[in-house]
Amino acid sequence: MESLNDHQKNVYQQFLEISMFQTPSNESEEMKLIQFLASNDWILESCISKYFDQSNSIEVHESIQQPPPIPDNTTRPTQGLSSLIPQTNNPMMNDLLTRMRFPTVIDVDEGIVADNFNRMILQRQTIDKILLRNGFYDIVKSQQSPNNNNLSNISLFFYEKGSYLWVLWPLISALNWIWSGIKFFLGLQFLLGSDKEKPSKIPNVIVPLPYFKATKQLDIFELDDEDDCNKKEIIDLYDLDDYKDPPMNKIIKTLKHELLNDLEHIDTKSNPHDIQYTTKIKSRLLFYIILNDSFGNITKFSTPESIHSSNILTKMLPSEEVKQFLTEKDQCTIFVQDTAFQVSPWIHYKAIQGSSKKYQPPMMLVMGKVDGLLSLLGTVNLASIKSSKSLVKKLLWFVDKFDVPLGLSYQRYELLDLELSRKLREQQNMEFEKSVQKHTEKRNKKLRITQKYLQMLRFGLDHLLHHEASCSTSEFKACNIQVKMPDGRRLILKLNPLEYTIKKLYALCEVILFLNISTINEANVRSALCDKVEECILNNDLAIFRTINGTNADEVDELDELEIENIILDECEKLEIPKYEEKSFFDIDEDCDLFCKDFYIVSPFPRVVIEKSDSSLIDDKILYPRSNVCIEFYGDDDEDEE
């Protein structure tokens, strides 16, 4: 409690009284309550509303945060800094040290602008009290001119006129204090009158113009004159439903359009978010000038800050000295915004106001491109800048101090960017090579499946269509093999023992399983071959049999079984598919639904697995001249054992 100011202590006590919250009994509970009040900006109404909305709880929940305050310029590097590149071999540590020396500027995007604007509207009662306490309403509604009837006003008069007599301000102020003391102790204030009068200016009150439109308080502005349309047009720039700051060039065009040509060398089109992230990094130094009512015609009573802001915008920035500076120093950019018309610079101002030094617009934030991001280099109070020459002199001081190290940082950023681009290209090339390899493997697999499909159809033509005729031509007795299929059906094969090898026997059984033949005769084989060709036509994954005898396959109603030999042989000729004797079936590494699973031929009594080999059937004593075998798929034995 001791660290709280009078306003915060007052809110603290009123919250306890109104909410009937139990007084904290220890330091931890007290800190918890203080954090809750601070999270609501010490606004009593907001604290009470949030307390009851959370069911009488003071828990601080994560919400849309205010932008972090810009650190004070005491974090700037000391004189004599020769480089922004920390001398470490760890890139992450380099980035950390860089950020410590040059704090990154807060990113004020449209979302943050809208959130702060809504927060201002919710805090209307508090803001109105501040405006009233600082005499804002009294000055506007009374429409009184400032009076120079005491020593302080004489000093202010010299200051505003830029007179050299302003140097007498300390002496004049001291005399004013002495005279006030004499009047107080002698009681002359009753005879001579009090020095307390309505303030001649609006001290330290910065509230953007859209606030007054949103709270319907535009009556404090002079918007009744029919001839003065500019003020009404500037009000129309603000869409409160989807609020975002209008660019400075639109404001200038509305209020003083002839000034646009004189400010072509100044950036009035961008916004802080675009400068920090969106735009291409070109400038190493950015001078962000924040003005306060630079046109001085929103109210009748312009403040010294408004007069000086107007002088900067209309006289200093359009000057030849500034133009020549920006021409010679192409690494620099000047960016301008106004707190009276835009919320974004108001956020920056509030962040600066929270630092150890108190600043008042007009002011200038000096930012540099450190490793590709905007970082704060310093803050300048422009109240002491009286001419364009002194402004350029100040800008040159920053250029001389930071241009070389920022140039090194810029080079480092370019090198890191090039290195990142190189690694990105390498990664993209690797990913591309992987995708190409994957695509090639997929295409080769598809080609092998197509080739094997045609091989098996051709094998069926060559060895099953005229199966009995091939057996009768043999000089030796045919090898009779009864094969039990996995589904229980049995086939009797009569094979030429000299022509057939064990490996070819495996191929014959695989084709029989592929065609799903129950009895080997010419009619069944032709019908099975036709079914497989039709299945292939309907399968989009197999790009074969798209034309049948020169006709589109989709236009063929039914295949002619008598022509099936020519259809298959023509397709094999297109893809140059050889006979089985010239090349065995293509191997498919993965299981494919188009073909049967891997199997082996087993002689059951005694159980002997017939291994694949190039031996002829006549040389195998188990198979020749007669045998009973069965077909077993791989893995079936393991399943039976389980």
352-383 pLDDT, tens digit each: 655 545 567 888 988 887 766 778 888 888 98
One-letter identity of residue 9 = K
* Mean of pLDDT values over 313-322: 93
Give the whole-angstrom CA distance, residue 238 versus residue 402.
Answer: 38
Distance CA 518, CA 528 (A): 10
Q: What is the pLDDT of residue 166?
A: 54
Asked if the model's pLDDT at residue 391 lies above 90, the reply is yes
Task: State the pLDDT at residue 629.
Answer: 93
- Report the alpha-carbon distance of residue 465 to residue 478 in Å, rounded: 18
Alpha-carbon distance of 293 to 341, in angstroms, equals 7
Sign of CA dihedral 195, 197, 202, 203: positive
Q: Is 420 helix (H, G, I), strand (E, B) or coil?
A: helix
Q: Residue holding tokens 């399983």?
A: 513
Predicted pLDDT of residue 283: 64
Query: pLDDT tier at 99 (50, 70, 90 boundaries)?
Result: low
CATH architecture of 473-516+597-642: Roll (3.10)
pLDDT of 308 higher than 80? yes
In whole angstroms, what is the distance from residue 520 CA to residue 530 CA?
15
Task: Pick the range with the lowest mean pLDDT from 19-23, 121-125, 447-451, 533-537.
Answer: 19-23
Please give the share of the chain, as a percent, with pLDDT higher than 70.
72
Query: How many whole angstroms separate alpha carbon 306 and alpha carbon 159?
Result: 14
- Say which amino acid occupies 606: P
In the predicted model, is pLDDT for residue 140 greater than 60? no
Distance CA 534, CA 561 (A): 11
Tell me 286's DSSP state: E
Give me the chain's average pLDDT, please: 76
Write down the pLDDT at residue 30: 83
> What is the Cα–Cα distance from 530 to 523, expressed in whole angstroms?
11
For residue range 454-505, what is the model confidence (pLDDT) as tens digits? 989 999 888 888 776 666 555 778 889 999 998 888 998 888 888 899 999 9
Catalogue the long-range contacts made by 201-204 (C-beta closer than 8 Å, 24 or more residues apart).
201/146, 201/156, 201/301, 201/303, 201/304, 202/134, 202/135, 202/136, 202/139, 202/301, 202/303, 203/134, 203/135, 203/303, 204/134, 204/360
Determine the length of the chain: 642
C-alpha dist (Å) from residue 177 to 139, 170, 202, 444: 25, 11, 22, 97
Q: Do domains 110-136+203-386 and 473-516+597-642 have the same CATH topology?
A: no
What confidence tens digit (pLDDT) does each residue in 552-592 have? 887 877 888 888 888 888 888 888 888 887 788 878 777 78
pLDDT score for 63: 42
Beta bridge partners of 551: 548
Strands of 485-535, DSSP E: 490-495
| Helix (H) or strand (E) run with residue 615 in it | none
Per the DSSP assignment, residues forming a β-bridge with 369 are 374
Strand pairing report for 479-484 and 626-633? parallel
- Whether the CB-CB separation of 290 and 277 falls below 8 Å is answered with no
- Domain boundaries along the sequence of the chain: 1-63, 110-136+203-386, 148-192, 473-516+597-642
Q: How confident is the model at residue 266 (pLDDT cuts 50, 70, 90)?
A: very high
The predicted pLDDT at position 468 comes to 66
pLDDT higher than 60, residue 639: no
| CATH of region 110-136+203-386, choose from 3.40.30, 2.60.40, 3.40.1130, 1.10.10 | 3.40.30
Which of 553, 613, 575, 547 lies closest to 453, judged by CA? 575
Alpha helix (H) residue ranges in 480-521: 502-515
